[in-house]
Amino acid sequence: MPYDVLLGQEGKKEFLLGNEAVVRGIYEAGVSVASTYPGTPSSEIGDILYVLGNRMGIKFEFATNEKVALEIGAAAASGGLRSFVFMKHVGLNVAMDSFVSLAESGVRGGMVVLSADDPSMHSSQSEQDNRYIGKFVKSVVLEPSNPQELKDFIVAAFDLSEFAGHPVLVRSTTRISHVRAVVKFGKPREKNEWNYRKNPSLVLIPENAYKAQESLWQRIVKVSKSKYANYFNRTYGSSDTLIITSGSAYNYVEEALSKLMKEARILKVGMSFPLDTEGIMQEVRKAEKVVFVEEGGPFIEEQVLAECALQSVSKKFYGKSNGMVPYSYEMDVDRVASSLSRVFEVDYEPVQSAGGAPNREPVLCPGCPHRATYYVATLAMRQKGIRSPIAPTDIGCYTLGFYDPYRLGDFCYSMGSSIGSSSGFSMVAKEKVISFIGDSTFFHAGIPALVNAYHNNHNFLLVIMDNSTTAMTGGQPTPETSPPFNRVDIESVVRGIGIKDVFIIDPYDLKDSLETFKKALSSERLSVVISRRECALEADRKKPLSELKVFQVNQDKCTRCYNCIRNFSCAAFYTEEGRVKIDPELCDGCSVCSEPLVCPFNAIEVVE
């Protein structure tokens, strides 16, 4: 089995992805319950637990969204079990309502929430720094720097959580969760027994919440005064320049210093809330210059500067607050060296990358049913005389419809925002509103918005692109996945709301899909097209070799009208001296481009 190495003996060393180290960590910590909604860069944790959960004695499930996941974990922790909930950074926004309450109530069994932040937005809509959320809700905040620490901090976080009766937020980032490094295993601990007692602080009516508020601050103070205050921090090196750093930013500091041939004293913060201000201020007092190198906002920096103001300590400070360290995007050795060069007043100009290479935008895979859906939707609108629709879209592979040639993507904020914004657009816009959402996103946050749209009588066309999987994060199951789970049928949900104009298409059948789209576009009220076709990557995995075929362009028949590349635009097409060709390595054999609606000259043929 692929992930079996994670069950290895104490003392073993493996080359693990940060997310794999997380799974080992919760196994060692004796976690009983875990839940998530998939999101990059945390997705692999769920993939592994889905396979390995039972053997690790961990009850794991993919929840419909992050808020549900957090509440599953909170229930387990209230009965004394250890629970673990994980998500990408923006997922914590969805879970926020209950996360605030969780910190208010406190926990009995250890509970750790992992947020995988994504500085530089490699696969996200923002680079929010969730350490601020941790401080805002007043949970403990830990910041590991590498896969080994990710595992070790998680194990310690559970002990800390149980010691203080308080949840712990572990903040990872892309360059920790998605870094592979050597990780040494520890010993798995026994699991806690279920031991539920009624507890009024879990019922946050005003009277109980009023008491919980006092206890919350006591829990934070308890952590500050315990051995944990500086347990996760480390200080070394001798110099009157002090660099305070944390998380993945720490990884770049020493190599940057060696590039500049300089030295510094390094204070690596592992627990950034509550902060060990006493220990840190001792170091600050000894230093002449104090530099803050963090990824995200000036989180530690602001806390230390506030303490310096309180204690009237004045030093030369270098950080994000005074523009000495950049605010945005992930750090690396070159960026840190460039910031430090200002501290040491030396020159450092990293040579820029070789330029000139044309961009390679992300694309829908060959065979992707979304491409066919976008193609017919566009064709139907053209035939109905709809020139410039407003097309809210959502979070998933289909967001790529934003790019040429489809250009169907006018609004995309967060999970489910396509439908909410469509209500708003259809309330005021003169343009036709046609909105796109995927199946998993529909379940996650689309349903309340669709209820709103129907109830308030909004008029737009919603296209639910149902590929029966959470494709963009690697193909996790959805509420439609069955067996062993109960299948939730999207059509029944939509009809159950009361919506009358519901159409089902198979996007590979272009002719029928075109007629159906035109019907749906003629509707004068809220209508829904469910475009149903399995993700091509998933389908390919099941396809027997005998069914594999590829297509080619018959140059004798091709008239060079270029409709295929201009409007259908499969990633397997390319041009050479004006000729359209198909890369056989990339062709998925879906055959959609050979339909007369894409190639009216029947020039695209199967390679015999």
Residues that bind another protein (CB under 8 A): 13-15, 122-123, 145-146, 175, 178-182, 250-252, 254-255, 259, 332-334, 337, 350-354, 356-366, 397, 399-400, 403-405, 471-472, 537, 562, 565-566, 569, 571, 573-578, 583, 586
The token duo for 546 is: 């005998």
Q: Least distance in Å: CB of 440 to another protein?
A: 14
Cβ at position 582, least distance to another protein in Å: 11
Least separation in angstroms between CB 166 and another protein: 31
CA end-to-end span of the chain = 38
Residue 379 CA to residue 479 CA, distance in Å, equals 31
Please report how close the Cβ of residue 340 comes to another protein at its closest, in angstroms: 13
- Measured from the CB atom, the residue of 9 and 352 that comes closer to another protein is 352
| Closest distance of CB 365 from another protein, Å | 4
HEC readout, 126-171? CCCCCHHHHHHHCCEEECCCCHHHHHHHHHHHHHHHHHHCCCEEEE
> Is there a contact between 551 and 591 (Cβ–Cβ < 8 Å)?
yes
Cα dist from 544 to 340, 540, 541, 547, 608, whole Å: 57, 8, 8, 6, 17
Residue 76's contacts (CB-CB under 8 Å, 6 or more residues apart) are 32, 33, 82, 83, 109, 111
Shortest spacing between CB 537 and another protein, in angstroms: 6
319 Cβ contact partners less than 8 Å away, ≥ 6 residues apart: 291, 292, 294, 298, 301, 305, 325
Indicate the SS3 state at residue 76.
helix
Please report how close the Cβ of residue 358 comes to another protein at its closest, in angstroms.
Answer: 6
Asked if 394 contacts 416 with a C-beta cutoff of 8 angstroms, the reply is yes
**Phi-psi group of 475: left, alpha or beta (phi > 0 → left; psi -120 to 50 → alpha; rest → beta):** left
Cβ 182 to another protein, closest distance in Å? 6
Report in angstroms how near the CB of residue 92 gets to another protein at its nearest: 20
394 CB contacts (<8 Å, ≥6 apart)? 412, 415, 416, 417, 418, 419, 436, 437, 438, 441, 446
Closer residue to another protein (CB): 18 or 507? 18
CB of 562 to another protein, least distance (A): 7
Which residue lies nearer to another protein by CB, 123 or 591? 123
295 vs 410 by CB, closer to another protein: 295
Environment class of residue 152 by beta-carbon count within 10 Å: exposed (0-12), middle (13-18) or buried (19+)? buried
Least distance to another protein, CB of residue 523, Å: 32
Between 259 and 519, whose beta carbon lies closer to another protein? 259
| Of 596, 561, 605, nearest in space to 579 by CA | 561
- The whole-angstrom separation of Cα 529 and Cα 518 is 11
Distances, alpha carbon 344 to alpha carbons 262, 337, 426, 443, in Å: 8, 10, 57, 53
Q: How far apart are CA 291 and CA 317, in angstroms?
A: 6
Matching residue, tokens 């310096």? 308
Give the type of residue at 578: G
Would you tell me how many other CB atoms lie within 10 Å of the CB of residue 39? 28
Q: Closest approach of Cβ 118 to another protein, in Å?
A: 11
CB closer to another protein out of 316 and 579: 579
Q: How near is the Cβ of 504 to another protein at its closest, in Å?
A: 25
CA atoms within 13 A on the CB side of 27: 26
DSSP for 79-126, written as a single string: TT--EEEEEEHHHHHHHHHHHHHHHHH--SS-EEEEEEE-TT-TTSS-
Task: Specify the residue, 539 or 565, whose C-beta has the smaller distance to another protein.
Answer: 565
Nearest approach in angstroms of CB 423 to another protein is: 26
Q: Is the Cβ of residue 317 or residue 403 nearer to another protein in the bound state?
A: 403
Give Rg (Cα) of the chain: 27
Q: Min. distance of Cβ 141 from another protein in angstroms?
A: 22
Output 280 or 337, the one with its CB closest to another protein: 337
Q: CB nearer to another protein: give 376 or 471.
A: 471
C-beta closer to another protein: residue 337 or 514: 337
Gap between the Cα atoms of 411 and 433, Å rounded: 11
Closer to another protein at the Cβ: 131 or 175?
175
- As given in the structure block, the two tokens for residue 150 are 């990710």
**What DSSP string describes 375-433?**
HHHHHHHHHTT--S-B-B--SSGGGGGGSTTT---SB--STTHHHHHHHHHHHH-SS-B
60 contacts 22 by C-beta, under 8 angstroms: no
Of 220 and 365, nearer to another protein (C-beta) is 365
Choice between 255 and 288, CB closer to another protein: 255
Taking a C-beta distance cutoff of 8 angstroms, is the pair 216, 239 a contact?
Answer: no
* Closer to another protein by Cβ: residue 290 or 471: 471
Crossing angle (nearest 10°) for helices 299-310 and 277-286: 70
Nearest to another protein of 313, 537 (CB atom):
537
